[in-house]
Chain A
Amino acid sequence: MTAAVAVLQEARARSRRRVVLVGSVLAVATLLAFLATVSLGEYPIPPGDLLSSLVGAGPARVEFVVTRLRLPRALAGLAVGASLGLAGALFQRLLRNPLASPDIIGVGAGASAAAVVALTMLGLSGLAVSGAAVLGAAATATLIVVLARRGRGSTGLHGVRFVLIGVGVGSALLAIVSWLMTTASLTTAQQTLLWLTGSLNNVSWASTTPLLVSVAVLVPLALVAAGALPRLELGDEAAAALGLAVERSRLLLLAVAVLLVAAAVAVAGPVSFVALVSGPVAARLAGPGRASLPHAALIGALLVLLADLVARHLLGDVPLPVGVVTGVIGAPYLLLLLARSRAGGTA
């Protein structure tokens, strides 16, 4: 008996050590990518100057480049990646479907459709487009929730029904996006494609500050609300028997995830693939379970920061949008993990 307990305790301790170890490695890597984003560029900044200008004691020129140009971009990359990574993992866990990332179940499509209408039909730009994207994401999520409702208390927020309705709504919205792309002039269509790819090229403090505030509120809220996930995953009856307000906690998690997506998309556009890839990668690195949610956020942040570094320098002077590179870096990595983890059967 005691031997069995000892074996279990040992296994638990080992998995806890793995979670902490993987988390620390990811955190350090993200920090390094962040510092590289701030210091590398057309005007390279040595680490010493970087640190002194971050605390406000550097040479004036260096301080301008760091605090006015590079810092907002690096912080936006960090926040966008973390939001998308965390939101994607939440969607996948909540809906129990590895494909249920916000870009596939319609929330991202809602943001895109609203932004593309603003760009092509209303001729808006800048922050107005961001506002449209947030409204679009929120309105689409509300529509999906209302349509998936079963009536009389049960919101039907889990499982196949919600996902299918989300995909249906998303497909219609994406078709509208495609149609608007064919009716717009080539120049407008190109701007639209750029926005739809996701880019950090036009980020400034004006857009980064609201994003940072939202993320500072939403990420802790998401991690606390995710405490209900292990019980939700036991099934509705069991979760209710354990004293969980099933529908309310599910709605809360969904709302937080949608708001995270909306905040990120407003600043950078629907950066592809980050939301889909972060959860599965985190689960494969840290082992499945609640502990992997912060890892998903870190992986999202790391992916966006690395992709932005590559995007800025790959073609010399022409900065690519970050959304092009997230897919190119992220996809082979996930494919490699899948090919390797088949042996472990974790998929």
Chain B
Amino acid sequence: MTATPTATSAPEAPATRRGSGVATTLLVAAVLLVAVVASLAIGPRALPPSVVLDALTAFDPTNPDHLVVTEVRLPRTVVGLLAGLALGPAGVLAQGLTRNPIAEPGILGLNTGAALAVVLAIGLLGIRSLTAYVWFGFLGAGLAAVIVAGVAGIGRSGTVSRGATSPATLALAGAALTAGLGSVTTAILLTDPDAFEDYRFWQVGSLAGRDLGIAGQAAPFVLAGLAVALLCGPTLNALALGDDVARSFGRRVERDRAVCGIALVVLAGSATAVAGPIAFVGLTVPHLVRVLTGPDHRRLLPVSALVAPTLLLVADVVGRVVASPREVQVGIVTAVLGAPVFIWFVRRKRFVR
């Protein structure tokens, strides 16, 4: 008799957790929807949601309110959505692959690689368009990733002692590359005032001034990277137990790590390419989401993909109104407002890690 309660509640427990998982996901998605509407409606010229809806469904080119929505706010909302969709899972991947809680998408040198490529494009080739920066950003991030992967031996078979990757090596190699490429960037900036003039506005990270064309260039990469990233949950769960345990589960650790690493590069590279280096979102979102979902990467990845764009869009709206008519860039708002929230989360007792 005494065993009955345990016997009945034991199968229920996972079901309840799965149920609350769906509820969490729906709630997070609803909040994201609110953020999207807010991003379309709020700004120096505040618009009621009905006007926003009209502008999207029954567009009237003579109505200035409609033009504000379609020409200014829609592109930056789409860019914010894309960057967030990329940065959330990228943060989870970076922390999972390096097994280091302070890893962020930039840790593998991707952001500095992208930055150096953009600076070279400005300084040597005289290119001055955000559309072109997207491709240079991609190129730089990709080259940086190849170097880090080569040094850390990603994809090589064998145990750590026989030459494969250890998470600490991966993190240190990324940090080293970040410093090296950052130095070259600084050297160019110090000697080329024109490049510096453009770069100092690019490097804060912003959603403003990007048109839908830029979003269209990056969207296929973000969606492909996202699709692969969402499949990485079981891999990251296994890697969290250590390579040897993961291998004993029958996982092909090196191949899986390489696949997830490529997803990370594509996601982080596209986010940096469209919006500039916004590192803090990728660092914090996984930690915030872990409080909602627990440490299971299979849920952490999709929920992060919903929370990160919410955070970016809200920060962007705040940046538009807080110093109106001037704007504070989204990269600055996420870090300055996000840091206290993040610290409060870390200080909580229930902080999962």
Contacts and interface: CB of A to CB of B under 8 A. Distances in A.
Interface of A: 97-100, 104-105, 147-148, 160-161, 163-165, 167-169, 171-172, 174-176, 178-179, 181-182, 186, 189-190, 193-194, 197, 272-273, 276-277, 280, 318, 320-321, 323-328, 330-332, 334-335, 338-339, 342-343, 345, 347
Interface string B273-285: 0000001100110
B332 A175 contact: yes
Most A-side CB within 10 Å, residue of B150, B164, B176, B328: B176
A342 B162 CA distance: 8
Contacts of A323: 183, 186
Interface residues of B, number: 64
A10 B89 CA distance: 50
Given A189-B196, A324-B187, A338 B152 contact: yes
Interface in B297-347: 328-329, 331-332, 334-336, 338-340, 342-343, 346-347
A99 B170 CA distance: 11
B295 interface: no
A178 B269 CA distance: 21
Interface stretch (B52-60, B198-206, B225-233): B198-206
B190 interface: yes
Most B-side CB within 10 Å, residue of A168, A172, A179, A193: A168
20 contacts: A99-B107, A104-B175, A147-B343, A165-B343, A168-B340, A171-B335, A172-B336, A172-B340, A175-B331, A175-B336, A178-B331, A272-B182, A318-B191, A325-B183, A327-B186, A330-B180, A331-B183, A332-B180, A334-B176, A339-B151
Pairs of residues from A and B, 8 with the lowest C-beta to C-beta distance, nearest first? A331-B180, A327-B183, A175-B335, A172-B339, A273-B179, A345-B161, A347-B169, A327-B179
A304 to B, nearest CB: 13
A326 to B, nearest CB: 7
A147 B176 CA distance: 29
B190 A335 contact: no
Contacts of B284: 168
B186 A186 contact: no
Contacts of B38: none
Interface of A is mostly: helix
A99 B163 contact: no
B183 A164 contact: no
A167 B177 CA distance: 19
Contact of B280 (A97, A98, A175, A318): A175
A97 B169 contact: no
Contacts of A178: 200, 203-204, 331-332
Contacts of A193: 186, 189-190, 196
B304 to A, nearest CB: 17
A168 B190 contact: no
A85 B331 CA distance: 31
A277 B176 contact: yes
B335 A182 contact: no
B66 interface: no
